[in-house]
Amino acid sequence: MNLPGPDDLIAALHVVSLPLNTRFRGVDHREVALFDGPSGWGEFGPFLEYAPEESSRWLAAAIETGWHGFPEAVRDSVPVNATVPAVADHEVEYVLARYDGCRTAKVKVAERGQSLTDDLARVAATRVVMGPDARIRVDANGGWTVDDALDAIAQLAPYGLEYVEQPCTRVEDLAALRVALARNGIDVLVAADESIRKAEDPFRVKELDAADVAVVKVAPLGGVRNALRVAEQIELPVVVSSALESSVGMSAGVAFAAALPDLPFACGLGTIELFDADVVTDSVVPHDGSLSVRTVTPEPELLDRWAASPDRIQWWKRRVQDAYMHLPR
């Protein structure tokens, strides 16, 4: 991939701070950098704690979008799931009401400071609100040990789980958990997320037979084309997911889902509903449970309205330069 120079990136840079309506990953605003490139707008939004080397993959994804565009789509819309953060059970109905027509929900579990009782109540409330025919998946973000995961999944399974996402941190533990679930007659699929997008070798999941499903995100894997290569080589059913992006970043996830040969699961691309603001008025949000495949161009007045403070803009400029040093040449 031909790279623009760092000065070109800085010249094309806009940094926004978008308020969230639900606290997520410990923050109530999401800062992202956007690039106005010759082929479109790209988003660079690694979470604030990510080091330059890991952040460089996100920068590569933004450059791909802004300077090279997307591969050809094979579908014009993609189904998506609703996302239920680690809220109290009485808030679940309010959260789900934002998602038009979604018949799948991903529920966050294993949140720090909460208990399995909280998780059970949240999942139970989701089942009540969505009804018996909806699909429910849970995401532990690696928060359980193998023993804790086995116990938790056994108690959550009666609510009808589609799969449990990243129940344990280590790939070896995911493999051990799959064996333990089978031995205990618990018929719940295991999905790998962080074990793919944050791993030095995303294919260890395949080698160790550690998952039934691969959750694949564009930005952490360096762009749509690289994500397509990972999806092809990992030889598992793929769920396309997002990383709390604005509509610019979300459009890359939709482009990836639209280019996949097979799309057996609803995609985790509905997180714009967690925002109270966006860089476009026509946000990439589900209608009748699906997202349309389209390009996104931020509106200048919204870029100005949600512009980050000058000191944060300087911080992001340095971050771009630091991540650029780790891009593959």
pLDDT band for 1, please (50, 70, 90 cuts): low
% residues pLDDT > 90 (the chain): 92
Task: Report angle CA 285, 223, 225 to the nearest 5 degrees.
Answer: 105
Three-state DSSP class for residue 142: coil
CA separation for the pair 203, 196 (Å, rounded)? 7
Give tens-digit pLDDT for 297-312.
999 999 999 999 999 9
Mean local confidence (pLDDT), 268-296: 95
pLDDT at 201 (0 to 100): 82
Give tens-digit pLDDT for 223-237.
999 999 999 999 999
Is 282 among the annotated ligand-binding positions?
Answer: no
Average per-residue pLDDT for the chain: 96
pLDDT value at 125 more than 90 = yes
pLDDT value at 157 more than 80 = yes
Q: Please check whether residue 78 is in contact with residue 293, taking contact to mean a CB–CB distance below 8 angstroms.
A: yes
Three-state DSSP class for residue 86: coil
pLDDT value at 239 more than 80 = yes
242 Cα distance to chain centroid: 2
CA separation for the pair 306, 87 (Å, rounded)? 26
What class does CATH assign to 6-69+300-324? Answer: alpha beta
Instruction: Give the position of tokens 């998946």.
Output: 137
pLDDT value at 247 more than 90 = yes
pLDDT at 53 (0 to 100): 96
The residues that are catalytic are 108, 217
Give tens-digit pLDDT for 169-224.
999 999 999 999 999 999 999 999 988 887 678 889 999 999 999 999 999 999 99
Helices 247-259 and 224-234, axial angle in degrees (round to 10) = 40
CATH architecture for residues 77-292: Alpha-Beta Barrel (3.20)
Residue ranges per structural domain of the chain: 6-69+300-324, 77-292
Residue 88, amino acid: A
Q: Please check whether residue 207 is in contact with residue 230, taking contact to mean a CB–CB distance below 8 angstroms.
A: no
Task: Report angle CA 201, 320, 272 to the nearest 5 degrees.
Answer: 75
Is 139 among the annotated ligand-binding positions?
Answer: yes
Q: Please check whether residue 157 is in contact with residue 186, taking contact to mean a CB–CB distance below 8 angstroms.
A: yes
Mean local confidence (pLDDT), 77-92: 96
CA separation for the pair 95, 275 (Å, rounded)? 12
CA separation for the pair 224, 256 (Å, rounded)? 5
CA separation for the pair 272, 287 (Å, rounded)? 12
Give tens-digit pLDDT for 254-275.
999 999 999 999 999 999 988 9
Helices 52-68 and 247-259, axial angle in degrees (round to 10) = 80
Give tens-digit pLDDT for 6-52.
999 999 999 999 999 978 777 899 999 999 999 999 999 999 999 99
pLDDT at 27 (0 to 100): 83
Is 165 among the annotated ligand-binding positions?
Answer: yes
